[in-house]
Structure formats: C-alpha cells, structure tokens
Amino acid sequence: MTLLFFIIYNVLILAGILIVPLFLLVIRPSYLKHGLERLGRVPRLQESVWIHTASVGEVKASVPLIERIISSGNRVLLTTVTPAGRQYASTLRIQGLSVSYAPLDNILFTLYAVRRSSPKTLIIIETELWPNMILAAALNRVKIVSVNARLTYKAFRAYRFLGPVLRSVLRRFTLICAQTPDDRDRFVKLGAAPTAVRVTGNIKYAICTNGRSDPAEKLKKTFPGRQIIVAGSTHQGEEKIVADCFLSLRQVFKKPLLILAPRHLDRTGEVELLLRQADLRFLKRSSMDTAGTAIQQDAIDVLLLDTIGELADIYSIGDAVFVGGSLVPVGGHNLLEVVVHKKPVIFGHYTDTIKEFVSLLDGSGGIMVHDQAELCAAISYLLEHPQQAQELGEKAFALIKQKVDTLNNIMALMKTAGVL
C-alpha cells in the first residue's frame, strides 16, 4: 500500500506541475518567481543543516534556532513554501544562512535538492510532513527532526486515513519535539516511535525583543499624540468587524489611529475597498516613503500595513492590540509577538492552533473576545486605562519569560540524539 501511494502521489505531483503553473500565472504569478528552486535547484552547500518552514510565521519562529545552529559551526539552508515566507527569509542578515523555496514534493526534485545542499540533518518546523522530502532525506542517510511539532485534533483525524503511509513517514524521524503532551500522543498514535517523541514546548517562546525598533519608533512619531490600535494578521470577515468597531470608538476617543495588517497581502485591494465603503481615510504603509513629511497625519484614520516583516515591531507602539485569525475559524496566530513588547493582547475565540498560548495568557494579559461588541469593549478598556494595560502587559511578559529555556532544551536533545 505504501509503495502504491508513493507511485500515485508522484504521478499526481508531476501532472500538477504541468497544469498548475498556468493557473498561477493568472492568479498568483509571485509563486512562479525563482521557479528553478521549486524544481530542486537550491543553493549548493556542503554538510549543511536544512531547516524547512511553511511561511512567515514559521520563519520568524525558527530565527533563534537558526542563529544557535550557525553559531555552533554549521551552515543552514532555510526553505519556505510561500512567496511571503521566502521574501521575509531573504531579509534576514545572518552570515552562514542560505534561502530558497522548498522543492516541489516530487521524488526527483527532492533528491536533486538533497544532492545540491548535502544536508546532514533536515529540521522540519511544525507539521510540514512532505512525504518525498522526508523519503529523499532518509535515502541519503540524512537525520530528520521535527521542531515545534504540533498536530491539531482535526489534522489528526485527517491523517489517520493515511494509516501505514504516515507510519512509514514518521518512523524515519530521529527526533520529534512536540509542543504539548496532546501533540505527542497524537504523533505516537499515528505511528511515530514513542522514544523519538519528546514534549519540549514552543520555540516561539524564544522570540526576544530589544524594545521598539527605529522604524516603529519613527512611525509613532509620525502620528504624535494619537492613541494607536493595531489589528494584525486579520482574515476575511475580521477587517469588517475591526472597521465597524473603529468607527464606534472614534465617536468616543479623540482621533484614534488604526493600523490594520491583513495576514495575506494579496487581499490588500479587497481591504482597501472595504475601508472606502466604511468612509475611512487610509494610507498604505508602502506609500509613506514617498509621502514623507507631507503626510497630514490628522487626516488619516487607518494605516494599512501592506509590507512584509514589520508587524511584529509595530505591535510595540500599539495602545491596544488585536491579533486576528481568531474571530473567524482560522485558529489564531502568534500572540507572543505582542506579549514580548509587554503589551496585553486581544484575540478571538477560534484558537485551535494557539491553545497553549491561550491557556497561559487568558485572563493574565490575554483578553478573549467573541464578537464585535466584546472587541470594542476590550479596546476601549485598554485605551481608557493605560496604567492597567501596562500592568497586564508586564504580567503576560513575566509568564512567557518563564518559558525561554525551550530552545536550550531542544538544542540539548538534538545534540544528545546526534543530529547536530
């Protein structure tokens, strides 16, 4: 059954390569840039550590790990799936780091990528279980590790249908560093060797900050005296909620500013239309360099963040911060990017992918809301009570500070397992 699966899977991938580019050329042409990398033409390296991520969030989470691995004398190949992930990864200025798209998951392309990069270890961040990537690594005696491994109940139920196939894939891992005990149990039930799965927590706790960045501080000075509301990583349906909430808050507070950051930048046009329909005056972040000091800051209601890599720093200037993907059934996004700035964080009730953060922060610097009314009330409270907001933020930061040894534990486990 496993052999038959791989034959059918590889045939389907090859068929997709002939068809999908035609659609991407029209729908998402950015996916075709650096196309040779997707065919396995990754940077040529020797004795590297290959770290694979999905997109921006996973790239950010892996940065402390990358720095630690490079500091121990290794070169790192960092691959991503999405254009946003690759673009953000290319902004990292870390000596010894090479960046590429991951090869499409066909055995020919993955074997070619392994041959070019010569990895001694493949580290997969979270749950990017690409069968041919793992098989190609195993065939070349590359040690395979999963860091920050997570498996929601929904994903677990879906993977169970693959049965022996997934068992074959998971048994090739030397080490699986699971986020929670529930994640560990699910990986073992799917076929991972119990001795290979360890509960290590979440490396996103290793995110650190040196305070506000210069660009964030400059941005705040561009809008002096205004209370700033940041809504980050929003999805379709949430921008309307946030915009309506902002309109009601504007009746109470003197000239608040909304910084709105859609999760996917290809939706920027859609969000612009929504803001026009709400009669909100907005400025795109990408146009600020050209606008310069000519900006009439009092004439702007909304700053639309249409750039990559700035949101985590911009959270630092928010007087009230909401993290999206949580008022619609997405599962939530990284709350720690807010908390590291000693800020309380507001989030919705769809939190399947961030349960660990929610259980830690809810009521202790984290504020869960269920609808527009509760979102408005939470933002209003934080704007009206800056001292209490500061105390909540410091309380939340104290909680996550206790977790920073996660990365040290993972590094120790990898060295013990002989993968570094």
Strands (E), 267-419: 282-284, 302-304, 320-323, 345-347, 366-368
Alpha helices (H) along 250-318: 268-277, 288-291, 311-314
Tell me how far apart the alpha carbons of residues 91 and 347 are, in angstroms, rounded to a whole number. 28
User: Does the annotation count 391 as an active-site position?
Assistant: no
Q: Is 106 left (phi over 0), alpha (psi -120 to 50) or beta?
A: beta
Dihedral angle sign, alpha carbons of residues 382, 386, 391, 395: positive
Single-letter residue type at 153: Y
Residues 383/319, Cβ–Cβ less than 8 Å? yes
User: Residue 387: is it exposed, middle or buried by C-beta count within 10 angstroms (0-12/13-18/19+)?
Assistant: exposed
Angle between helices 386-401 and 372-384 (to 10 degrees): 100
Strand, helix or coil for residue 252: coil
List the beta bridge partners of residue 304.
Answer: 260, 284
Q: In the structure encoding, which two tokens stand for residue 39, read together?
A: 């065919």
- How far is the C-alpha of 281 from the C-alpha of 272, rounded, in Å? 10
Q: 45 and 118 in contact (C-beta within 8 Å)? A: yes
37 and 383 in contact (C-beta within 8 Å)? no
In terms of Cβ atoms closer than 10 Å to its own Cβ (0-12, 13-18, 19+), residue 200 is buried
Q: How far is CA 399 from the centre of its chain?
A: 21
* CA atoms within a 13 Å half-sphere pointing along the CA-CB vector of 401: 10
Given the residues 58, 126, 128, 239, the one annotated as active site = 58
And the tokens for 345?
């964080």
Residue with structure tokens 């200037």? 317
Catalytic residues: 58
